[in-house]
Structure 1
Amino acid sequence: MSTPLETEPGAATAAPESVLVGEKRIEGRSLGQIAWARLRRDKVALGGGFLVIFLVIVAIFAPLIVGVLGHPPNEFHQELVDPDLQVPTARFGGVSSDFLFGVEPINGRDLFSRVLYGSQISLLIAFLATLLSVAIGTTMGVIAGFVGGAVDGLISRLMDIFLAFPLIVFALALVGVIPDTAFGLRGDALRIAVIVFIIGFFNWPYIGRIVRGQTLSLREREFVDAARSMGARTPYILVKELLPNLVAPILVYATLLIPSNILFEAALSYLGVGVQPPRATWGGMLADAARWYQVDPWFMLPPGLAIFVTVLAFNLFGDGLRDALDPRSR
């Protein structure tokens, strides 16, 4: 019988996270590093990600950008509007070095400034509503998937009810009758809070179903059994064992939920129950442009392209992020 090999005193042993090949040590990579390497190879998704970052920066610093390149969003420039036709006198909606996107009909407000200020409203509502949906959906989905039984049945039926609820009708009814002051808020702040609540609270079942399905699979894995065998309680398993493994699908779905929330906010503003004038919103600008498209079609392009580019950027980044975090979904 052969004797086991013995290492000489002082001989180096390779760490489990690295392998020594010749004179070069190859370090192991974390799951985040592997996902980032995949994402870097996807140029389309990477471009969408950089565009998302650019749009967020533009929305945050909109007042500074407007101060340098534009005019106040509610400042009238009626000298640039034909007094008879009520449309900009210059071609292409009055586009010039002073008005990069042209001016509105009737009052001549700067479209560039209004598009930038509108991005603040759209992105703020989309991000907050997505955060609310993710928080509720993740909590309910994890509980339903892990506990199971009657709790799972109750939460699943609750998801079905919310998914069958006519959200747009409820939003029109609720936003249209809110008072001027409530919950310590008033004006635009109150409307933004109500819109965020409606979008976020009634969209949580979509992510809740995804999280529930993933939890049903994860609760049977070995690391969960090991945690139970060591005496871990249910809250510890949910927070320390399951949630870290749910970050990838939650993050991917959140990036895909943001553009749908942007479109929903734009639809509410288009229907006249979103943030009220004179505050600039993309949907409100499209609603105004719809009345002038026959005589001034340019008016529709800036807000329409802003929505298109923003939604496209988030979708491209979300698809690439999904492929990077779960290559089997290709």
Structure 2
Amino acid sequence: MTVPLDVEPGSSAAEPEAVVAGVGKIEGRSLWQISWIRLKRDKVAIAGGFFVVFLILVAIFAPLICKLVGVTPNDFHQDLVDPSLQTPIGKWNGISWDHPFGVEPVNGRDIFARIVYGARISLLIAFLATLLSVVIGTVAGIVAGYFGGWVDTLISRLMDIFLAFPLVLFALALVGALPDRMLGLTGNPLRVALIVFIIGFFSWPYIGRIIRGQTLSLREREFVDAARSLGARRPYILFTELLPNLIAPILVYATLLIPTNVLFEAGLSYLGVGVRPPAASWGDMLSIAANWYQVEPLYMVPPGLAIFVTVLAFNLFGDGLRDALDPRSR
């Protein structure tokens, strides 16, 4: 049933049927609004995202949290350690109200404080390394995919060379060969910068290949042809026309690359080439726990659980984000 088309004198046109019926104007949604609606429906991904935000806040406010609980990461509590066995007094790693996760063997350092401070190291290295690899990989992928020809061949072969590096062995050799002072940095700041460089610089080909494939498809689209016909230069097309359309795959891959970098940093610290003691690191805590596994097996639970839950949260959020940004997914 339609609305009568009688128009009052002086009016230019009849109102749309939906407006006359009281429905109101129908507003379209952007792709980001549609993606946000789809993401909100995925309760598992939202839970992972909330935990990621919680973990970031814990890392930022680690000193305040430890101060409120009344613990410190590097203070020794020899009175809480059995002098003969060198293990915490009591059960469950010596858990008490003063030490919620117990204390370490031998020195009695608080485990809760070291877990909280370890989050700062893991997330700092993971985020900075991911940022470095995303920037390099995105630029290289866009350039290779858009220009093609010998430029694409050169960058693609360079990606293959970097992917052929045994990254763990290279990191072990590089950390051991470099001096203790370099570029004005020393100690743990130098170690953090070195680990970020190794992870970020040698992992960019993974995202570079993805961006290259997406660019090969986008460069044939109509909006790119329209920009060329209007006389747009290549830098404008690359970073104004193509890059905004690559934000979705970049975000998705970055959220999936961060947990990989968390594991890699923990692995380096476990092997003894991460941050130096007494700085807290989840991988270093696992390395110490491995020496006391037969005596205090529960000591490896807090750092192991911290790594597991962190990686799981990022992966769940990344999977949900990928499904929300993919228009072909259900």
Q: 1:11 aligns with which of 2, 5, 13?
A: 13
> For residues 288 and 176 of structure 1, what CA distance do their matches in structure 2 show?
21
Structure 1 residues 222 and 101, CA, compared in 2 at 3 Å: closer, same or farther?
Answer: same
> For residues 294 and 70 of structure 1, what CA distance do their matches in structure 2 show?
30
Residue 156 of structure 1 aligns with which residue? 156
Residue 260 of structure 2 aligns with which residue? 260
Residue 167 of structure 2 aligns with which residue? 167
Structure 1 residues 74 and 23, CA, compared in 2 at 3 Å: closer, same or farther?
Answer: same
Structure 1 residues 267 and 211, CA, compared in 2 at 3 Å: closer, same or farther?
Answer: same
C-alpha RMSD over aligned residues: 1.6
Residue 24 of structure 1 aligns with which residue? 23
> For residues 136 and 281 of structure 1, what CA distance do their matches in structure 2 show?
27
Residue 70 of structure 1 contacts residue 110 of structure 1 at CA under 8 Å; is this kept in 2?
no
> For residues 21 and 179 of structure 1, what CA distance do their matches in structure 2 show?
77
AA partner of residue 292 (structure 1)? W
Alignment map for 1:292-303 (pairs within 5 Å): 292-303=292-303
Residue 101 of structure 1 contacts residue 111 of structure 1 at CA under 8 Å; is this kept in 2?
yes
TM-score calculated relative to the size of structure 2: 0.95
> For residues 14 and 126 of structure 2, what CA distance do their matches in structure 1 show?
54
Is the counterpart of residue 220 in structure 1 residue 224 in structure 2?
A: no
> For residues 12 and 308 of structure 1, what CA distance do their matches in structure 2 show?
62
1:261-311, CA deviations, whole angstroms, 9 ceiling, x for partnerless residues? Answer: 000000000000010101010000100110001000111011000000100
Residue 188 of structure 1 contacts residue 275 of structure 1 at CA under 8 Å; is this kept in 2?
yes
Structure 1 residues 216 and 97, CA, compared in 2 at 3 Å: closer, same or farther?
Answer: same
Residue 189 of structure 1 aligns with which residue? 189
Alignment gaps of 5+ in structure 1: none
Structure 1 residues 240 and 20, CA, compared in 2 at 3 Å: closer, same or farther?
Answer: farther
Query: What displacement does 1:178 show?
Result: 2.2
Quote the sequence identity (%).
Answer: 72
Structure 1 residues 209 and 12, CA, compared in 2 at 3 Å: closer, same or farther?
Answer: farther
Residue 70 of structure 1 contacts residue 112 of structure 1 at CA under 8 Å; is this kept in 2?
no
Structure 1 residues 109 and 29, CA, compared in 2 at 3 Å: closer, same or farther?
Answer: same
Residue 38 of structure 1 contacts residue 324 of structure 1 at CA under 8 Å; is this kept in 2?
yes
Alignment map for 1:89-128 (pairs within 5 Å): 89-128=89-128
AA partner of residue 24 (structure 1)? V
1:119-149, CA deviations, whole angstroms, 9 ceiling, x for partnerless residues? Answer: 0000000000000000000000000000000
Query: What displacement does 1:96 show?
Result: 1.1
Structure 1 residues 239 and 21, CA, compared in 2 at 3 Å: closer, same or farther?
Answer: farther
Residue 80 of structure 1 aligns with which residue? 80
- Tell me how many residue pairs correspond in the alignment: 322
Alignment gaps of 5+ in structure 2: none
2:328 is paired with a residue of what secondary structure? helix
> For residues 12 and 157 of structure 1, what CA distance do their matches in structure 2 show?
64
Query: What displacement does 1:13 show?
Result: 6.4
> For residues 323 and 68 of structure 1, what CA distance do their matches in structure 2 show?
40
Residue 65 of structure 2 aligns with which residue? 65
Residue 275 of structure 1 contacts residue 281 of structure 1 at CA under 8 Å; is this kept in 2?
yes
Query: What displacement does 1:179 show?
Result: 1.4
Query: What displacement does 1:28 show?
Result: 1.0
Alignment map for 1:316-327 (pairs within 5 Å): 316-327=316-327
Query: What displacement does 1:329 show?
Result: 4.5
1:26-61, CA deviations, whole angstroms, 9 ceiling, x for partnerless residues? Answer: 211111110000000000000000000000000000
> For residues 72 and 12 of structure 2, what CA distance do their matches in structure 1 show?
73
Is the counterpart of residue 249 in structure 1 residue 249 in structure 2?
A: yes
Deviation >2 Å, runs of 4+: 7-14, 19-22
